[in-house]
Structure 1
Amino acid sequence: MAGPKSPKVQVLLSTYNGEKYLRELLDSLLAQDYPDTKILIRDDGSKDGTIDILHAYKDLPELEIIFEENVGAINSFFELLKRVADDTDYIAFCDQDDVWMQDKISRAVTDLEKKVPCQIPGMYFSRYAIVDESLQVLGYSEIPKRGPSFENALVQNIATGCTVVINKQARLRIVEELPREVRMHDWWIYQVVSALGMVIYDPAPSILYRQHPSNIVGAKAGPWGKWMNRLKRFAKRGRLQLVTEQAREFMRIYGDRLTDDKKDILADFVSGRDRFLKRVGYAALRCRVHRQTFVRKYGFKSAAGTESGLITATRGIVLKFKILYFITNGTLGGAQTHILHLASYLTDDFDVGVAMGVRGPLWDSLENIGIPVYHIPSLVRSVSPFRDILCLHEIVQLFKAVKPDLISTHSSKAGILGRLAARLCGIPVIFTAHGWSFTEGLPEKQRRRYILAERIAARWSTRIICVSEYDRQLAVKYGVGRPEQLMTIHNGVPLSPAHEMAKTGKENPVRLMMVARFSEQKDYQLLFRALAAIKNNKAFEMFLVGDGPLLVQSREMVQQMGLGNEVKFLGARNDVPVLLAEAQIFVLISKWEGFPRSVLEAMRSGLPVIASDVGGTRESVIDGETGFLIPRGDVDILQDRLLKLINDPNLRVQMGQNGFRRFASKFTFEQMLEKTLKVYRESIVPQAVMQK
């Protein structure tokens, strides 16, 4: 029996003198992994070789091409919108000089199908990778902190048209009556859908946005350059007038369909645009001096308040909620990096502090960016009843002094004592499990002890975040927390700049890299046995990044196995992304794991991954697609998979590209942040809001 048909998609492309890059674009459209896609092209009176290129593609069944006189980009796209087939479910917009990622359409359709009811106008847009003329990545587009909204759409377009996909209802609303005066077609679409329907944003890049002399619009500008550009735009009365006229045109066409609140916002915006103070306010908004959004009656309100619901305003004074992160050890590690990323990002919207027992690089990094750090000397990893009672007293005193609205605990010791202290102080507390201390692979006696401890501590938790679905199911299996208390939020890491992308096809020798502590958790002995068995097959070098208590033992083992020329110990490093860019294969051989960040960092760099199939690792690494998973302790399979990747540069490139796409679609920092903020919002008790 045949399954349900996929929704139909039509891609709209307006061409004009685009011969230089058009073939690459068309090939990327034809390579989409979505099954039911048609491409409608309107040439807007090209005078170069564009028409010859289009004729070369015209017989393909996926394409329909129209050749007409020049009317300009805006009107050309509106003409295309009018000609969309009636049975089309989704419409995507396209520029002639970009390259689409293979899963762009399928990701957009999946998001729209899941998040937007088909009865209302819907729009999807995404981040994009900025590339040069030869498609080398230069960086990534800025993530809009405000989020899409009608208030934002009145004064600013954050939805880049070449990433936009809309549904049928959005198209019908737009083509009912086309505007007489707009800044750009994509801005108008953003305005319409944000007012009448739902706009969703995907923080993972969906296209390669090519930057070349004909289209550079400031993507390389730094913060000061962007500020000055916005200030110059403010000074140009004509441009402001166009924005006002666009808003008036919107009011004429859609004014009677808006909610009362949006009608008031639009009316105040249009009527007040010529007043001097409103123009100054508009300049501040565009320059993001105060990160504020225009609203009626009060002039401005906190954009962070509309985003997260965690900032309140009283008589114009913004009151930030206070979050305190709490961890045992400040040395380098996944949990510490997790806290550093969250704390540094949230400082605009929250009062953020971090408390820890053992000082280390995390402490220094937080101090350098001005985040308050609190020291609890008695908080150490080892268990000592007398010292731990003293430590609990110190933690309670700290919580009472800092008075956070929410405490976020990390690591086992800080997680247990921190949750108890928060309970005693009546403060909401979240525990993030970066891999349970009772996970499979650990000694049975230790597992039983920690299961009991975590069952008790779970009673003091407002919510428990597991960094993998494996960990969440493990908690449910052993009765740690209630099922409704537990949730999975995968680790996420920020997207890297271009210099951190690996060249996986390089050889002579092939470089393998493992980034991990030298501790009982990592199975270095198994790795060295596999390397010793294959070292005579093909030249390779193995770089090991990290330190730890078993470092000296590991060095001795390497010498005993005759791997002194192949294995290099680099120690703890703070330039790991740069090192990953110089590797061709990433390896992580472990006895147990939670959801390793190092694997995500490798995927971000475009590296194929060979990792032990333990913990939640299989939720990031797809065996045979983005790398290989090795059963715990299986040296024969490890040898075989190492040889496969060392000997096959094309396989390395393919798996590395697959891994990057998987990372960008599922494991970016922004995706983790959105889900984490939701938990924060749900965890801060109503009394905290009343007190504020």
Structure 2
Amino acid sequence: MIKNKENAPIIIELIGMGAKKYGGLEKFIVEECRQLKEKGIGLLVVFAVEPICKSYIADLENLGAEWVVLPFTSNLSYYKRIGQMIKSRNVLAIHKNFGQKNIWALIAAKQLGVKYRISTEHCLPDMSRIGAIGYYNLELPFCTEKLCVSKTTAEAFLHAPLIYKNKITTEYLGVSDFFFDKIEMQRKYGLDHNVVNIANVAYHNPIKGVDVLLMAVKILVDRYKADNFRIIQIGGGQNAKQTEDLHALEQQLGISKYVNWMGVTDYVPEILSACDVYTQPSRSEGIPLSIMEASLASLPTAASRVGGIVESVVDGKTGILCNTEDPDALADILYKLITDSGLRKSMGDNARMHALAYFDLRRNVSKLLKHYGVDKI
């Protein structure tokens, strides 16, 4: 752990997981650290497991951030450890991200007088479950604000039988603009410039719908007789079986020729810049940072109409949406984009303008910091 040498105000950022890659959320936190440093405020990042991505940790350290790994062993021990951190520092705000067990950090923070206690919901909650309603009714009294990464996520809370709904608001995440030469990136990653390259950035968890994409590929090949495309799948399994299941489905469908598995990488913007179309057939989403990045690369998106996707993709303008669990509809959309370069160009240009208008990294981090009370010190 990096030690803060001064008793300056500090923000505690509870991640609730580790860091396997230098992705959109990690870049968001680095920008948060940079802006806090400009204001003379420190950042302490609390991971649930040891972070793997060393370049991400190096950037945090270079900006003067502290970080610590605090695995959850029991409610009482976690509560005590967080309490010790708060007592030993001048904590201005605590921010809970993933991990329901982090509610104990919010409880400790309230009892120890931390003024700003923020909880961000990154996923679309299933408010049909009694357990979920019970959990959020328990969490909300300990928050000063409940931030949602999309309006759709916020609406799920507002339509549920919850108390303290006045604490719920929407704050978008954001991504940093970039430019990489398309031909150069195609050469770097060995992508065929004679076909339409369709990118998909997703872990292999079933919630991301990569299996739906594979079934859509089968339809493209068999029904539409499409051959001039390749799927560029970026990501990996959160366990080995998830990836094994997808490879088994690929073999079963006989579509291996059309799928390029790139694995987990820290260079997603470079690969997106080498592609022509983006697709995200998720079963549930808060709001995908990958669509924001694909939009900055001027890619039109073919995606499922679920969660915050409807806010990151303007249907018919920056991409085309379909119902989830519908490989036939997804194949139809992809075929339109594969065969119409003019449509790809116009939608891609619109997508970039939309991302710049709503998902600018620096601007949206600045909005988040206001919830920490940094403008009041």
**Mapped partners of 1:432, 1:416: distance in 2:** 12
Contact 1:335 1:411 in 2 (8 A): no
Residues 235-254 of structure 1: per-residue CA shift (max 9 Å, x gap) = xxxxxxxxxxxxxxxxxxxx
Which letter maps to 1:674?
Answer: S
2:30 to 335, 340, 346: 340
Q: How do 1:213-612 and structure 2 match up within 5 A?
A: 320-331=8-19, 332=21, 334-349=24-39, 350-361=41-52, 365-370=56-61, 371-379=64-72, 387-413=74-100, 415-427=102-114, 428-438=116-126, 447-480=129-162, 482-499=164-181, 508-535=194-221, 536-548=225-237, 549=239, 550-612=242-304
**Corresponding residue for residue 671 of structure 1:** 363
Q: In the superposition, relative to structure 1, how do residues 575 and 519 fare at CA in structure 2: closer, same or farther (>3 Å)?
A: same
Q: In the superposition, relative to structure 1, how do residues 626 and 561 fare at CA in structure 2: closer, same or farther (>3 Å)?
A: same
**Mapped partners of 1:412, 1:479: distance in 2:** 22
**Mapped partners of 2:150, 2:175: distance in 1:** 14
**Corresponding residue for residue 317 of structure 2:** 625
**Mapped partners of 1:402, 1:413: distance in 2:** 24
Indicate the structure (1 or 2) with the bigger Cα radius of gyration.
1
Structure 2 unaligned blocks of 5 or more: 1-5, 187-191
**Mapped partners of 1:683, 1:665: distance in 2:** 24
Contact 1:330 1:363 in 2 (8 A): no
The CA deviation at 1:319 is: 8.3
Which letter maps to 1:610?
Answer: A
Which letter maps to 2:32?
Answer: L
The CA deviation at 1:606 is: 0.6
**Corresponding residue for residue 637 of structure 1:** 329
Larger relative contact order (Cα-Cα within 8 Å, sequence gap ≥ 6): 2
Residues 392-414 of structure 1: per-residue CA shift (max 9 Å, x gap) = 22222222223311111111325
Contact 1:335 1:410 in 2 (8 A): no
**Mapped partners of 2:119, 2:182: distance in 1:** 32
Residues 293-315 of structure 1: per-residue CA shift (max 9 Å, x gap) = xxxxxxxxxxxxxxxxxxxxxxx
**Mapped partners of 1:624, 1:510: distance in 2:** 20
Which letter maps to 1:412?
Answer: G
The CA deviation at 1:367 is: 3.7
Contact 2:199 2:277 in 1 (8 A): yes
**Structure 1 moving runs of 4+ over 6 Å:** 500-504
Which letter maps to 1:497?
Answer: F
The CA deviation at 1:355 is: 1.1
TM-score by length of 1: 0.48
The CA deviation at 1:667 is: 1.2
The CA deviation at 1:636 is: 1.9
Q: How many residues align?
A: 355
Contact 2:196 2:230 in 1 (8 A): yes
Contact 1:475 1:481 in 2 (8 A): no
The CA deviation at 1:526 is: 1.3
The CA deviation at 1:683 is: 9.3
Which letter maps to 1:357?
Answer: A
The CA deviation at 1:472 is: 1.1
Which letter maps to 2:341?
Answer: P
Q: Secondary structure at the residue paired with 1:574?
A: coil
**Corresponding residue for residue 224 of structure 1:** none
Q: In the superposition, relative to structure 1, how do residues 671 and 501 fare at CA in structure 2: closer, same or farther (>3 Å)?
A: farther
**Mapped partners of 1:514, 1:594: distance in 2:** 17
**Mapped partners of 1:454, 1:511: distance in 2:** 42
The CA deviation at 1:527 is: 1.0
The CA deviation at 1:677 is: 2.5
Q: In the superposition, relative to structure 1, how do residues 502 and 524 fare at CA in structure 2: closer, same or farther (>3 Å)?
A: farther
Percent identity (aligned): 25
Q: Within the alignment, does 1:616 sit opposite 2:274 as a pair?
A: no
Contact 2:36 2:43 in 1 (8 A): yes
Contact 1:515 1:546 in 2 (8 A): yes
Contact 1:512 1:543 in 2 (8 A): yes
Contact 2:9 2:90 in 1 (8 A): no
The CA deviation at 1:415 is: 4.1
Contact 1:326 1:414 in 2 (8 A): no
Q: In the superposition, relative to structure 1, how do residues 670 and 414 fare at CA in structure 2: closer, same or farther (>3 Å)?
A: farther
Which letter maps to 2:171?
Answer: I
**Mapped partners of 1:337, 1:588: distance in 2:** 21
Contact 1:378 1:388 in 2 (8 A): no
The CA deviation at 1:630 is: 1.5
Which letter maps to 2:48?
Answer: G
Residues 229-272 of structure 1: per-residue CA shift (max 9 Å, x gap) = xxxxxxxxxxxxxxxxxxxxxxxxxxxxxxxxxxxxxxxxxxxx
**Mapped partners of 2:375, 2:104: distance in 1:** 19
Structure 1 unaligned blocks of 5 or more: 1-317, 380-385
The CA deviation at 1:483 is: 3.3
Q: In the superposition, relative to structure 1, how do residues 502 and 611 fare at CA in structure 2: closer, same or farther (>3 Å)?
A: farther
**Mapped partners of 2:101, 2:37: distance in 1:** 22
**Mapped partners of 2:156, 2:374: distance in 1:** 24
